[in-house]
Homo-oligomer: A and B are copies of this chain.
Amino acid sequence: MPRPLIDLLWRDHPDAPAGGSRGPRARVSTGAVVDAAVGLADAEGLEAMTIRRLGDALGVSAMSLYTHVNSRDDLLVLMTDEAHARMDRPPYGRLGWRSRVRLVAEANLALIQAHPWLADVADERTALGPGTIAKYDHELEALTPLRLDPVTCDAALRFVLDFARAGAVAMRPRPHAADLAEHWPEWGVRLAAYLGDRHPLAQTVGAAAGEAMGGASDATLAWDFGLARVLDGLAALVR
């Protein structure tokens, strides 16, 4: 009964199992379900992407979706692959590895900013669909000038992608931040009272970083700083 996830991922491939021809035709396709799910999660977050709301959006009952998708968890994998498949993959041309790595990092930042729920999906790497593999291939190609062995190359890519993910998470507005800002006039003075003159280093740096946080330029600055460190760190491999 449940179609294997691997076949759902590759549903557009010519060799994918077509399924019998009996019975009424499906009113919605698996692809339409995935697209609607991505749209809903983009607009309102992953927790708003519920089976019932998805059914409403598609004009179909909630349970009907289980014909096209085995479970919500599987749907998350399909969504992930779909998001990866939509990414632009411009050729690298004659760019050096620094520019290439920068492109990869920025593309992943843009990816997670366009689909913030990707940061909440458990494992983006086990979505072995066409989009994810094409992305993987394209990103590995960026690292070829570094001439690394396969395992190291994979580790280097993970290093860059983990940085990009963390940067994207730091940039997205956090739910508690609003609460904190709201209560800050009251909480700030209490915190100062609790702290007294202890942890002067944390107080100094925290105050400076906190001010920068207000301007929201803080995350961008941290991104630039981190990306420079990533590139310098990788540069040590080719020296």
Contacts and interface: CB of A to CB of B under 8 A. Distances in A.
Question: What number of copies of this chain does the assembly contain?
Answer: 2
A194 to B, nearest CB: 5
A115 interface: no
Contact of A154 (B6, B126, B155, B208): B208
Contact of A232 (B222, B228, B236): B236
Contacts of A212: 151, 154
A4 B137 contact: no
**Chain A interface size range:** 35 or more
Given A176-B123, A187-B4, A222 B159 contact: yes
Contact of A209 (B151, B183, B205): B151
B13 A194 contact: yes
Contacts of A233: 228-233
A151 to B, nearest CB: 5
Contacts of A73: 176
A191 B128 contact: yes
A136 B206 CA distance: 9
Interface in A10-40: 10, 13, 15-16
24 contacts: A15-B194, A16-B194, A122-B174, A122-B175, A122-B176, A123-B177, A126-B174, A134-B199, A136-B199, A136-B206, A137-B202, A140-B202, A149-B208, A150-B204, A154-B205, A154-B208, A156-B229, A158-B170, A159-B163, A162-B167, A166-B166, A229-B236, A231-B233, A232-B233
Contacts of A4: 183, 186-187, 190
A228 to B, nearest CB: 8
Interface in A210-236: 212, 218, 221-222, 225-226, 228-236
Given A4-B190, A163-B163, A195-B133, A221 B15 contact: no
